[in-house]
Amino acid sequence: MVALKIGDIKTFTSRLFVKDTFDGLFLREAQVVTFNSFVIDGHIRPGYYTRDEREAEQIGLFSSWKQIRPVCYSLIRGKKLPESFRMEFVLGPEDTAKVLERAGGGWRPDTVKGLYLGVRYENGELLCVTGLSLEVFTMDRSLEHEWDETVKAFLKANDIIFSEE
């Protein structure tokens, strides 16, 4: 797990809410605090879509950020900055498999519950925090380190300035 302090909040929030930079991620949960506190549960409601719709559109456990982004943007845009916001993203299965492969060590997809990226803005500071959840206990930290490095490389590739906390 690594905490990354974002140096240019305006660029980051533009990439997060306006551009498609983070559209490959899935939203587990979001909270936006403006004149009210808005909470979005990113879990897909199983009864909403038919099985055919879920299969045809490859709908999984969580809503894509691409789908939810306009909703969150509508909550934060305006003349005043939000008091705070936080998002918890999870990497999709295909991208998770790529990170597992790069990590080496024989990681299997069924042992990984999720690779997470938390984004938190409050008191004028913005942090990104990596995390992972496993089905098994292990002392092997290769996957954790690979996920941390993947997130750093992603931020650098998108010209997002950060420092490690």
Mean pLDDT by 10 residues, the chain (165 residues): 95 96 96 96 88 81 94 91 96 92 85 95 96 87 93 96 92
DSSP conformation class of 32: E
pLDDT at 111: 87
Neighbours of 60 (CB within 10 A): 13
Q: Which two tokens stand for residue 117?
A: 């990226």
Question: What's the pLDDT score for residue 57?
Answer: 78
Q: Parallel, antiparallel, or unpaired: how do β-strands 63-64 and 3-6 relate?
A: unpaired
Decide if 25 contacts 155 (C-beta within 8 A): no
| pLDDT at res. 148 | 97
Tokens at 48, concatenated: 């909403």
The encoded tokens of residue 19 equal 């551009």
DSSP codes, 89-148: EEE-HHHHHHHHHHH-TT--GGGEEEEEEEEEEETTEEEEEEEEEESS--S--HHHHHHH
Q: Report pLDDT for 64.
A: 94
Amino acid, res. 75: L
Q: What is the pLDDT of residue 160?
A: 96
Q: Tell me what pLDDT residue 130 has.
A: 97
pTM metric for this prediction:
0.90
Instruction: Determine the pLDDT at residue 138.
Output: 78
Residue 67, pLDDT score: 93
